[in-house]
């Protein structure tokens, strides 16, 4: 019979921009809890179903939305932390709902599902956090962490600690190695790209204090949703009139396209003010057919559907050189090339590479001293980004972790060390 430590009340929570996981220590080993449909990941999505007056999360939320149910889809909630939007509100089914309450609702559901899967309550947790919630703003970064801690306490976590997400991934990788290594952890998530340079070994793994093993941390607020955005702007939005001309030869204003291509601003395209502006523009556009597609998309509130299609294309282009993307809701299809995707995100990849270069410089470590690059995070599969990071460390071994589970596993290990 399997023996489980029923006294354990600690877990590790990876609240991600796109997906979330919860890890815990079971029989002396870290494991991920099943959160939805026997899967360890729960998409960080909430759907308010207006037809049934009900709320769903995760894959169920996405399925209801994509099935055409009337309602409101909310995603990339983590991106609100540290911004002024966290204290704002939105309208859902005719009721004002604070963004802070949205995060509380999702994290509370994440806790409930984890406890159901584990068969016990969790009162202690180590939450993962990016190296920087907000770039170059220490005060906003502290606010983001404090807000997340307040929300965690409000849903029932009594004791809360934080760990950098790449460090958590390092702990997961360390459980798999047999000798000492100097490792660059590259965690490319939905909202941020985070890096840690860490000395790892089986002997060091047992230490309670690991500060001396961490040579440097760095990060930048660029992640998978940014890649989705620029793929959409370069490859999909031209079908809706982006880059086309008005009768006075000026370009059609781009702000509405940028709102629709950015997860946490999609709903701004649905306001009455935005609709009036689009109607005014429509009277002066030259390419009326393409702009009519934009009007149809906004009128049907299909912005999140389009963003999901862009995400699907990004994932496909991480594996293939080209694809034909069907866009049935606007009656079109588009041929997308990886080379075009690479061109659209080159400026983002360059900024990420600069972050890695600064990290090595700050640590005083030569590139050839790094033994391994450990890739994790759902967006680490983007080929241009992976090649760029690996190219900075040509002698290092490349290892791919569990793209969606390494952080949660590592946080589970850290929770057991911190809280017992």
pLDDT in tens, 159-214: 999 999 999 999 999 989 999 999 999 999 998 999 999 999 999 987 777 888 99
Q: List all residues 6 or more positions away from 73 whose beta carbon is below 8 Å from its beta carbon.
A: 45, 46, 47, 61, 62, 65, 304
Digit-coded pLDDT (tens) for 134-156: 888 999 999 999 999 999 999 99
Token output for 258: 């940028």
- Note if the pTM is more than 0.75: yes
Q: 358-372, pLDDT tens digit by residue? A: 999 999 999 999 999
| pLDDT above 70 for 5 | no
Domains of the chain: 10-178+402-419 (3.30.420.40), 225-337 (no CATH)
What does the pLDDT look like over 85-114, one tens digit per residue?
Answer: 888 887 777 788 888 999 999 999 999 999
Whether the Cβ atoms of residue 220 and residue 352 lie closer than 8 Å to each other: yes
Q: pLDDT tens digits for 58-75? A: 999 999 988 888 888 888
Does 241 score more than 90 pLDDT? yes
pLDDT at site 264: 81
Tell me what percent of the residues of the chain surpass a pLDDT of 70.
98
Question: Cα-flanking dihedrals φ and ψ of residue 342, to 5°?
Answer: -60, -45
Kindly tell me if the per-residue pLDDT of 2 is higher than 50: no
Measured CA to CA, the distance from residue 210 to residue 50 in angstroms comes to: 49
Residue whose entry in the numeric block shows the structure tokens 């990004």: 314
Q: Which of 20-29, 226-235, 352-361 bottoms out in mean pLDDT, i.e. has the lowest?
A: 20-29
CA distances from residue 283 to 245, 257, 292 in whole angstroms, order as listed: 12, 18, 11
Closest CA to 152 of 33, 45, 10: 10
How crowded is residue 48: how many other Cβ atoms within 10 Å of its Cβ?
23
In angstroms, what CA-CA distances link 349 with 107, 108, 246, 338?
31, 35, 33, 14
Phi, psi of 223 (to 5 degrees): -155, -160
Write down the mean pLDDT value for the chain. Answer: 92
What's the confidence (pLDDT) of residue 267? 85
Buried b or exposed e, range 198-215, using 16+ CB within 10 angstroms = bbbeeeeeeeeebeebbb
Q: pLDDT tens digit string along 380-397?
A: 999 999 999 999 999 999
């Amino acid at each position: 019979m399997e023996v489980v430590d029923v006294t354990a009340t600690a877990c590790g929570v990876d609240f991600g921009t796109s997906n979330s996981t919860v890890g815990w220590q079971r029989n002396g080993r870290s494991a991920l809890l099943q959160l939805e449909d026997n899967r360890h990941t729960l998409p960080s999505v909430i759907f308010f179903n207006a037809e049934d007056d009900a709320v769903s999360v995760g894959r169920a939320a996405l399925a209801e939305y994509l099935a055409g149910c009337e309602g409101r889809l909310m995603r990339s909630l983590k991106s609100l932390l540290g911004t002024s939007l966290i204290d704002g509100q939105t309208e859902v089914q005719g009721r004002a709902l604070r963004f802070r309450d949205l995060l509380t609702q999702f994290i509370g559901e994440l806790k409930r599902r984890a406890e159901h899967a584990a068969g016990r309550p969790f009162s202690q947790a180590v939450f993962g956090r990016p190296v920087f919630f907000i770039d170059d703003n220490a005060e906003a970064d502290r606010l983001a962490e404090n807000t997340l801690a307040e929300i965690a306490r409000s849903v029932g976590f009594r004791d809360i600690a934080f760990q950098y997400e790449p460090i958590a991934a390092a702990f997961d990788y360390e459980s798999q190695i047999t000798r000492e290594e100097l490792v660059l952890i590259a965690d490319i998530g939905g909202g941020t790209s985070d890096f840690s340079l860490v000395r790892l070994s089986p002997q060091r793994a047992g230490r309670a204090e690991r500060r001396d093993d961490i040579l440097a941390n760095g990060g930048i607020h660029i992640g998978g949703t940014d890649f989705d955005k620029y793929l959409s702007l370069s490859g999909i939005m031209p079908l809706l009139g982006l880059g086309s001309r008005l009768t006075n030869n000026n370009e059609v204003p781009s702000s509405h396209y940028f709102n629709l291509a950015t997860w946490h601003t999609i709903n701004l395209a649905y306001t009455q003010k935005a609709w009036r502006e689009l109607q005014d523009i429509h009277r002066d556009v030259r390419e009326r057919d393409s702009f009519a597609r934009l009007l149809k998309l906004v009128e049907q509130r299909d912005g999140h559907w389009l963003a999901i299609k862009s995400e699907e294309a990004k994932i496909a282009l991480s594996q293939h050189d080209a694809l034909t993307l069907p866009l049935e809701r606007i009656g079109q299809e588009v041929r997308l090339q990886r080379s075009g995707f690479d061109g659209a995100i080159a400026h983002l990849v360059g900024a990420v590479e600069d972050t890695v270069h600064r990290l090595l410089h700050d640590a005083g470590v030569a590139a050839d001293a790094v033994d391994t690059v450990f890739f994790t995070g759902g967006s680490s599969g983007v080929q241009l980004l992976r090649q760029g990071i690996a190219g900075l460390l040509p002698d290092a071994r490349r290892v791919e972790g569990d793209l969606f589970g390494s952080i949660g596993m590592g946080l589970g290990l850290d929770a057991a060390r911190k809280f017992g």
